[in-house]
Structure 1
Amino acid sequence: MAEARIGISGWRYRLWRGVFYPKGLRQADELAYAAARMNSLELNGSFYSLQRPASWERWRDGVPDDFVFAVKGARFITHVKRLRDVDAPLANFFASGVLDLGRKLGPLLWQLPPTLGYDPGLLEAFLGRLPRTRAEAARLAARHDERLEGRSSFRVDEDAPLRHAVEVRHPSFGRAIEDWTALLARYDVASVVADTAGRYPRIDHVTAGFVYARLHGETELYASGYDDASLDRWAAWTRGHLADGRDAYLYFDNDAKVRAPFDAMALAARLRG
């Protein structure tokens, strides 16, 4: 049965303390507090730097058994290397401990920079390098370079498919939408539906066996909230995909004015009702 995962993009924000998080709550307890109120979140520290196995284990053990993390792929791969010569960076990423999340590992999110335009050859080469299962990811991780010596972890206790989603930001993807979505569908990779107050392309096409949406702000990027009518529309969008048998992952990234956690809980409540 298809399920919806509704959550937030990250959880460690100073402005949330005393608003979403109760005053006096320890920073170490913020993940558990958030995870008790939603069933998923995007783990975005992995975007900025390679994390250590102990961190992945701590996050895994700090949430309920039925919780799922979406994991943001490293910006070194997407923004620095710009998808070129990424065999070693991909191996290092998967060797850093991502697979230690076990059953709590959900989709892997690859966010492309606004300056990276549609290049079918480059994109197909990248999609073709992405591991399709956890066992395949572990074999890739075993090829990590010396930077991960002594600090790698990529044991897989139970093999399972891996899901990937790509978020694009260059306008050329909108102009090449048919070719781009066909390419994603060929690799069963989801096209992220990005709500960005009109800043970046919004591509709402089904290209995989699941759907993925990032809600960055309806009228003001990273800041504006979602009113009742907007949340009703997103609830209807989610129900439609669930009815068609597709899991749905939705993450609120409108964190600047402490709207994300409250919008996520409001959307989840609509779906429960």
Structure 2
Amino acid sequence: MEISANHPAVALCNSLIRVGIGGWTFEPWRSNFYPAGLSHSKELHHASRQLTAIEVNGTYYSTFKPPTFAKWHAETPEGFLFSLKAHRFATHRRVLADAGDAIARFVDSGISELKDKLGPIVWQFMPTKAFDPDDFEAFLALLPREVDGLRLRHALDVRHPSFATPAFVALARRHGCVPVCTDSEKFPAIADAEADFAYLRLMRSQADVPTGYPAKAIAQWAQGVRAWTGGERPRDVFVYFINGAKERAPAGAMELLRQLGLRA
């Protein structure tokens, strides 16, 4: 594993642990995660009571209005968090330094309506986007530190192998951002041992394993989570079971919560 609290159900060593999945609308989950006959309108209600976080992918493709974010806040229990993927208009561009308007449109779109349930914002870059230190630093300088009085935390999902360098990690740290640590065959696994929080995206779920990841592998991730949230400097950690055999994601997330001795 690369990485070496307010809610009692997910607090450990004064840090917050959030474990979840990407989104809550996926047809195969209606046969292995949601109760039979559950209406689509109740899926977020159910998922948020089995898990402790959701990474929202829809905000990557579409612009939502404040009432939608307020509705999500109202439908989920205390302590639940949403990580939001920032709109791709901000990150899918040749010159990142020109992304100021797109960043502002996303941050000011009403995400503050999530209030205390707003988790990290994920800025996902194209796999073809190589590391250009000057242009990337110009982009990071555009990221706001707060919106409507809410502190913002930024996670950088970079996918080109050129980012696997200490220079990128140091640059992200200078701007208070955290590299996403991705467990994937396609993308580099980048982590900052000194970061203020950890953001993990687990993408190797297997269809023939009921929990996506074998229990032994989940136990290794659990050990890493405990190490991150313990010691002299306990820090928050966010873990999402994403893609791979996506139908197994909820079971994997719930198994990790079980092994950590936590519950939603």
CA distance in 2, matches of 1:102, 1:17: 29
Q: Is the Cα contact below 8 Å between 1:72 and 1:108 reproduced in 2? A: yes
Equivalent residue number for residue 258 of structure 2: 269
Q: Is the Cα contact below 8 Å between 2:169 and 2:192 reproduced in 1? A: yes
Q: In the alignment, is residue 87 of structure 1 matched against residue 100 of structure 2?
A: yes
The CA deviation at 1:123 is 0.8
CA RMSD of aligned residues (A): 1.9
Q: Which amino acid aligns with 1:239?
A: R
Unaligned runs of 5+ in 1: 135-155
Give a deviation string over 1:103-160, Cα, whole Å, max 9, x none.
11010111111010000011101111111122xxxxxxxxxxxxxxxxxxxxx3xx24
Equivalent residue number for residue 46 of structure 2: 33
Equivalent residue number for residue 173 of structure 1: 163
Query: Residue 42 of structure 1 is aligned with which of 37, 51, 55?
Result: 55
CA distance in 1, matches of 2:167, 2:120: 23
Quick one: structure 1 residues 79 and 164, their matched pair in 2 at CA, closer, same or farther if it must change by over 3 Å? same
Which residues of 2 match residues 99-178 of structure 1 at below 5 A? 99-134=112-147, 156=148, 159-174=149-164, 177-178=165-166
CA distance in 2, matches of 1:270, 1:180: 33
CA distance in 1, matches of 2:53, 2:172: 24
Q: Is the Cα contact below 8 Å between 1:194 and 1:215 reproduced in 2? A: yes
CA distance in 2, matches of 1:207, 1:120: 20
TM-score between the two structures when normalised by the length of structure 1:
0.85
Equivalent residue number for residue 11 of structure 1: 24
Q: Is the Cα contact below 8 Å between 1:7 and 1:41 reproduced in 2? A: yes
Give a deviation string over 1:162-191, Cα, whole Å, max 9, x none.
1101011111112xx110001011112111
Q: In the alignment, is residue 210 of structure 1 matched against residue 197 of structure 2?
A: yes
Aligned residue-pair number: 245
CA distance in 1, matches of 2:105, 2:128: 25
CA distance in 2, matches of 1:83, 1:54: 30
Equivalent residue number for residue 240 of structure 2: 251
Q: What secondary structure is seen at the aligned counterpart in 1 of 2:145? A: coil
Out of 249-258 and 30-39, give the one that drifted further: 249-258
Which residues of 2 match residues 176-255 of structure 1 at below 5 A? 177-196=165-184, 198-217=185-204, 225-243=212-230, 244-254=233-243
The CA deviation at 1:77 is 1.0
Quick one: structure 1 residues 207 and 185, their matched pair in 2 at CA, closer, same or farther if it must change by over 3 Å? farther
CA distance in 2, matches of 1:62, 1:112: 30
Query: Residue 69 of structure 1 is aligned with which of 82, 89, 96?
Result: 82
Q: Is the Cα contact below 8 Å between 1:193 and 1:202 reproduced in 2? A: yes
Q: Which amino acid aligns with 2:250?
A: P
Q: What secondary structure is seen at the aligned counterpart in 2 of 1:107? A: strand
Q: Is the Cα contact below 8 Å between 1:195 and 1:218 reproduced in 2? A: no
Q: Which amino acid aligns with 1:272?
A: G
Q: Is the Cα contact below 8 Å between 1:56 and 1:100 reproduced in 2? A: yes
Higher relative contact order (CA 8 A, sep 6+): 2
* Structure 1 ranges of 4+ moved more than 2 A: 80-84, 204-208, 254-257
Q: Is the Cα contact below 8 Å between 2:24 and 2:43 reproduced in 1? A: yes
CA distance in 2, matches of 1:75, 1:16: 26
Unaligned runs of 5+ in 2: 1-13
Q: Is the Cα contact below 8 Å between 1:190 and 1:206 reproduced in 2? A: no
CA distance in 2, matches of 1:191, 1:204: 6
Quick one: structure 1 residues 74 and 215, their matched pair in 2 at CA, closer, same or farther if it must change by over 3 Å? same
Q: What secondary structure is seen at the aligned counterpart in 1 of 2:225? A: helix
TM-score between the two structures when normalised by the length of structure 2:
0.88
